[in-house]
Amino acid sequence: MNPFSELGLADTFEVDVKALEKTHRDLSRALHPDRYVQAPAGERRVALERAVRVNEAFRAVKDPLSRAEALFALRGTPIGDGKEPKPDPDFLMDVLESREALSDAKGEKNAAAVAKLKAAAEANHERVLAALGAVFAKPEKPDESAVKLLGKLRFFRRFLEEVSDVEDDLDAT
Amino acid sequence: MAYSDKVIQHTENPKNVGTLDKEDPNVGTGLVGAPACGDVMRLQIKVGDGGVIEDAKFKTFGCGSAIASSSLATEWLRGKTLDQAEAIKNSDIVEELDLPPVKIHCSVLAEDAIKSAIADYRQKQGKKQADNKA
């Protein structure tokens, strides 16, 4: 499925989230089962199936990670398990050290240290998004270095998920 | 997703979590990551004089299957020679832990970590020999 064309959008990495949400709302309204109460069963089913696809496409385009994955697929660069280059050792070392620091901060209930790690990861996350934006702004098929950016995005994403678990933990105590 | 009993045992009570001195010439460190899921794994071996692995430690930030795979790997590594260690296949881990297809990549990561730790150790030893000769 091409989630962009499903929503009638151009396949770009830059997305106006407000406009995307409006498109989704409008399409969902147009495809709402209430509008098809009088329609023949076949038409009703088609509208329902389309509504499901529209929801999937909306989620895929809204999240920058799945949006990037969709763009790699559309441009013919293979991604996914076993198809992506191994991360650089230095990068892995940074990831591991941040994860250890986060785990220490959690153990010490050090909210300030958690906040600092979070800010650094958010900045890295933003930087990778900007770099991916530059990749997709060009018409060429993204190369291996672009796929490495996608991997980095997932590492930062995982880290930030862990941060929010730790924050919940610290709030609860 | 349902984990197998063995995965749960290793996750709740992981064996050999920790760190060895990565500057020690007898320690090999493998650092690997799975870009498709964001897991990261460090596996270290300490090799004794007879070329036998005396100690193995790991630290894994990832899902239960990744933790279990690396925990099992360190258990298996102790007492093995480097050649025996190198022969460990991800499919052995899959079988022992009863990993489902979606979690096979965790065992691949563990095998990569073993190989990368051995390679690091051998590189250090080669360097030591070269230094001695010089």
Question: Please, what CATH class does the domain formed by A89-172 belong to?
Answer: mainly alpha
How does A54-84 read in b/e, with b if 16+ C-beta sit within 10 Å?
beebbebbeebbebbbbbbeeeebebeeeeb
Q: Is A150 left (phi over 0), alpha (psi -120 to 50) or beta?
A: alpha
Distance in Å, alpha carbon of B125 to nearest chain A alpha carbon: 20
Would you state the pLDDT for residue B37? 83
pLDDT below 70 — which residues of chain A? none
Spatial distance between the Cα atoms of A11 and B124, rounded to a whole number of angstroms = 49
> Are the C-beta atoms of residues A114 and A167 closer than 8 Å to each other?
yes
Which residues of chain A neighbour B60 with C-beta distances below 8 Å? none
Q: Pick A84's closest partner by Cβ from B31, B32, B36.
A: B36
Would you state the pLDDT for residue B1? 57
Domain boundaries, chain A: 3-62, 89-172
Spatial distance between the Cα atoms of A154 and A81, rounded to a whole number of angstroms = 13
Q: Cβ of A157 under 8 Å from any chain B Cβ?
A: yes
Provide the whole-model pTM.
0.87
Walk along chain B (134 residues) and give the pLDDT tens digit of each residue.
Answer: 578 888 988 888 888 999 999 999 999 999 999 988 889 999 999 999 889 999 999 999 998 999 999 999 999 999 999 999 999 999 999 999 999 999 999 999 999 999 999 999 999 998 888 888 77
Which residues of chain B neighbour A159 with C-beta distances below 8 Å? 38
Write the ipTM.
0.82
Spatial distance between the Cα atoms of A8 and B126, rounded to a whole number of angstroms = 60
3-state secondary structure A53-112: HHHHHHHHHHCHHHHHHHHHHHCCCCCCCCCCCCCCHHHHHHHHHHHHHHHHHHHCCCHH
Q: What is the CATH number of domain A3-62?
A: 1.10.287.110
> Which residues, 6 or more positions from B75, have their beta carbon under 8 angstroms from its beta carbon?
B15, B16, B56
Phi, psi of B47 (to 5 degrees): -105, 130
Would you state the pLDDT for residue A62? 97
CB contact under 8 A, A99 and B40: yes
The residues that bridge with B58 in the sheet, in sequence order, are: B17, B43
Concatenate the DSSP letters of all residues of B100-113 into one string: -GGGHHHHHHHHHH
Q: Cβ of A58 under 8 Å from any chain B Cβ?
A: no
CB contact under 8 A, B38 and A93: no
Phi, psi of B127 (to 5 degrees): -65, -40
